[in-house]
Structure 1
Amino acid sequence: MNAHERIITALSHEEPDRIPTFVQHLEDPFIKRYDEQIELKSDFGYKGGIDLMVATELGLDSKWVHGAGVGPRSAKDMPEIPKDLLADATRGLQQYSISSDGSLHARNAKGESWYQDGLLHTPELLKAWISFIKTFIPSDEHYLAHFTTNVWKAGLKNDIVFIPTAGGPVYTTWSSIGLKHFAYVTRKYLPLVKQLINAWKEKTIEIHSLLFEHGIDMVFTCDDHAFKGHQIFRPELWDELVLPVYAEIAANAHKHGARYCVHTDGNLHDEIAGLVKAKVDGVDPLEYEAGNRLKPLKEHFGTRICFIGNIPSTEVLTFGTVEDTIKVTKQQILDASEGGSFISAPGSDVLGTVKPENLQAWVATVKKFGKYPLDTARLR
């Protein structure tokens, strides 16, 4: 099998020729360390994107690529935030910006920004933003043609799948409201919150459909909505608000013969059943440090959803040795690979602190021991 066949087979909940490998983002300090210690030897014909080059040289089967999302381009101006609400939200901030999704970001002198809070606390603001989101314009044809030719197809020529990320309806919904107000707003204005998340869902489906029409047959939504120990949503609200959204996005992908994966950091034990019910194809990254464990998940859900991730990014890939990495990777294969429907990957981005030799050891171990049918005796 080539890399594309391998990934599609795993996301179809079957056994490929071997376990595929995947990474999210390669952080810049990791790329620098990799180039210093190992030295990048080829550009593989890519038109830019050193992260694509490093991923290819590592021998990975797949990596995600950001940038195929919705907006924030719109023919209309962003709705105004009332002065009193904005003054209260920005108290103590020297510099800030308001995102097109209605969230507040603090800024520093270097121009760096980070999420601070949501601003959509009132029914008036929720209604205004629902209308505003509907004016968002997805990636234009020029960008889609570039991505298809210079990223997707160029990757396939080098036997690696660069999977686009596009949309995040759940994250943008709760983050635009803010955690401090989320429980109150969902209790008081739930019909409006449903309209908000559905507006994001429709835009997500719109860009996904464009990607599928360009021959790209798999996609992620980056949609963080869990803490280290539990979900942000109470289970009943997740079932009412989130499950139908994921079900529609998955159904649209399947209508196009494509596969759909959900990304969220945090502990996902309580929501896997809902993802299965929504017919989501894969879930990532099953962050080890957040308490996710592959063995009980695989025992309970089998091959009904493709598990992606779970190699400990800090405990093993950052602080461990090559021997530690090999040991953990072999155990992961034992715990989660039976029957297929599994993609080995770090449980987060490839952090700047990750040792290049450990990432190499992980890839090599999967290729050596992850061939189907599995020889479990060699893994013990």
Structure 2
Amino acid sequence: MPWHPLTPMPELSNALCRKNECQGDTMNSKQRVRTALSHQQPDKTPFLAYLTGEVQAKLTALYGLDGQDLFVHLGHDVLVSTAGIWRRQWVDKDQLVDTWGIRWHNVDYGPGQYLEILEYPLAHIDDVNAYTFPDPKADVENSDIDRILSQYGQTHWIVGGAVGTMFETAWMLRGLEQFMMDLVTNPVYAEELVERSMRYHLEIAKILVKKGVDMIWTGDDFGQQHQLMLSPKMWRCIFKPRYREFYTELKRLNPNILIAHHSDGYIEPIIPDFIEIGLDVLQAVQPQSMNPSKLKAQFGDRLSFWGTMDVQHTFPYGSPEDVADEVRQRVEFVGKGGGLILAPAHNIQPDVPLENLQAFYSTIRPEKADLY
């Protein structure tokens, strides 16, 4: 009988037994993540995976489950709900509009599709006050956070997302090239747009904290593959004070709340700044841009990491054993002593062989290999 990509691979199923990962669960997912993010050794390394719609549809067809129910079935320790700029509605078969009035369209790249912006609401508007920002309360109400907390809040680590926190929202409203020029030639306008974007997401985050999430997830891509998108000086002038206020407000509201921040790419020069202003977890940790083991050695006593798995080479082009090896390396060198939520650094794309996704799951949870 031919091997199915989501059935056990015997050569991988015992991959972590020698690392004491084959013991029975002594913690539930919430306890496991809390322990890891407290820089203590959990019973096993917590994990999750992000999937594109195409990949998730394949697994939904296989298991008959979708959304958070699918992720729980797959053993994910972390469940994420986001509100805000990423909520979109179809206006025709190829275009979507989000609550901000940003118009997107689907671009076909072969095995799947991705979204590009067609229209920026503030591209030709030079008065921020002429634009009506969405209602953060309504955006949270339209998310799935209440269901997740009700169904899984006692057993799983629940993350409330306020990503696109200020930089990305600002440039998505204005256009990236125009906004980057505004930062230099029209800084009053640029800062007002950043400020208004931050205020909106801060309100979302406050609502999520009051609802009882375990962690708030902010996010702005400040990194390119090998350098920052803007100078550290400009980042410290415009964005750092606002992130400091954002994090301080949330921790005043709930001193036990943890905060994660997403950025793709290389952001090493500003990691100490994020730690200084209260960041608990750095998310993505794109290994083609920053070495996860090096970051662990340099910052691991003050910062936890979420991500680290290579989606640019290992997942799409490596073998199942390559994926398994990388899982073992991350658990050994980044997860030792806690401080790691293992995950792909970005979404698993449709061109990733399902065998490689199965290798990820079977290696991080070998005792459940028959599930995959």
From 144, 164, 171, the equivalent of 2:160 is 164
Quick one: structure 1 residues 209 and 58, their matched pair in 2 at CA, closer, same or farther if it must change by over 3 Å? same
Q: Distance in 2 between matches of 1:227 and 1:361?
A: 29
- What per-residue deviation string (whole Å, max 9, x for no partner) do you get for residues 92-145 of structure 1? xxx988866575645789x9952257564678333434xx33x6342368547x
Q: 1:136 is matched with which residue?
A: 135
Quick one: structure 1 residues 62 and 347, their matched pair in 2 at CA, closer, same or farther if it must change by over 3 Å? same
Q: 1:29 is matched with which residue?
A: 54
From 324, 327, 330, the equivalent of 2:325 is 327
From 202, 205, 209, the equivalent of 2:206 is 209
1:70–1:139 Cα contact (<8 Å) kept: no
From 176, 179, 185, the equivalent of 1:182 is 179
Q: 2:63 is matched with which residue?
A: 40
Quick one: structure 1 residues 183 and 206, their matched pair in 2 at CA, closer, same or farther if it must change by over 3 Å? closer
From 235, 250, 254, the equivalent of 1:253 is 250
Q: Which amino acid aligns with 2:46?
A: P
Q: 2:14 is matched with which residue?
A: none
- What per-residue deviation string (whole Å, max 9, x for no partner) do you get for residues 350-376 of structure 1? 22233334333323433469xxxxxxx
Q: 1:79 is matched with which residue?
A: none
Q: 1:47 is matched with which residue?
A: none
Quick one: structure 1 residues 100 and 214, their matched pair in 2 at CA, closer, same or farther if it must change by over 3 Å? closer
> Cα distance, 1:304 vs. partner?
1.3
- What per-residue deviation string (whole Å, max 9, x for no partner) do you get for residues 16-68 of structure 1? 333210223x22322343356xx316x5xxxxxx03233222212114233x2
Q: How many residues align?
A: 329
> Cα distance, 1:197 vs. partner?
1.3
> Cα distance, 1:170 vs. partner?
1.9
Q: Which amino acid aligns with 1:298?
A: K
Quick one: structure 1 residues 280 and 116, their matched pair in 2 at CA, closer, same or farther if it must change by over 3 Å? farther
Quick one: structure 1 residues 59 and 115, their matched pair in 2 at CA, closer, same or farther if it must change by over 3 Å? same
Counterpart mapping for 1:357-376 below 5 A: 357-367=355-365
From 52, 55, 59, the equivalent of 2:68 is 52
Q: 2:350 is matched with which residue?
A: 352
Structure 2 unmatched runs, 5+: 1-26, 89-93, 368-372
Q: 2:195 is matched with which residue?
A: 198
Q: Distance in 1 between matches of 2:202 and 2:175?
A: 24
Q: Which amino acid aligns with 1:245?
A: R
Q: TM-score, normalised by structure 2?
A: 0.76
From 283, 292, 306, the equivalent of 1:308 is 306
Q: Which amino acid aligns with 1:273?
A: P
Q: Secondary structure of the equivalent of 1:165? A: strand
Q: Which amino acid aligns with 1:54?
A: L
1:65–1:164 Cα contact (<8 Å) kept: yes
1:118–1:179 Cα contact (<8 Å) kept: no
> Cα distance, 1:191 vs. partner?
3.0
Q: Secondary structure of the equivalent of 1:304? A: coil
Q: Secondary structure of the equivalent of 1:261? A: strand
1:217–1:259 Cα contact (<8 Å) kept: yes
Q: Distance in 2 between matches of 1:52 and 1:71?
A: 17
Residue 32 of structure 2 corresponds to residue 6 of structure 1: yes
Q: 2:7 is matched with which residue?
A: none
Q: 1:296 is matched with which residue?
A: 294
2:120–2:175 Cα contact (<8 Å) kept: yes
Q: Distance in 2 between matches of 1:140 and 1:20?
A: 29
2:122–2:174 Cα contact (<8 Å) kept: yes
Identity %: 22
2:136–2:201 Cα contact (<8 Å) kept: no
> Cα distance, 1:14 vs. partner?
3.9
> Cα distance, 1:237 vs. partner?
0.8
Q: TM-score, normalised by structure 1?
A: 0.75
